Amino acid sequence: MTDLLRQAITQIEKLPPPQQDTVAVRIMAELADDEAWAVSFAATTDEQWDRLAESIRSEISAGETFPLEDVFPHGQLPS
């Protein structure tokens, strides 16, 4: 276990049990989501990636995309 995770757990342990459960549910949901994405990515074929890349190139060429700076000004990209 990493030091950061130990610190987080120490802080979570200070919360009342209902809040601990809320945090646990969020963590479990995040882990399940990560696993679902990993399975999806692993199942994606090279042909599917190639089609996706070509689709994106076509959208860019057709001017159907926007620079990230226009969508998220001032370097405030989502994390």
* 28 exposure class (CB count in 10 Å sphere: 0-12, 13-18, 19+): exposed
Within the chain, what is the greatest distance between any pair of CA atoms? 54
Please give the average pLDDT of every successive group of 10 residues along the chain, which has 79 residues.
96 98 97 97 96 96 89 71
pLDDT at 71: 81
Rounded CA-CA distance 69/73 in Å is 5
Rounded CA-CA distance 21/15 in Å is 9
Rounded CA-CA distance 76/3 in Å is 28
Question: Which pTM value belongs to this model?
Answer: 0.63
pLDDT at 69: 83
pLDDT at 9: 97
pLDDT at 79: 61
Rounded CA-CA distance 65/57 in Å is 10
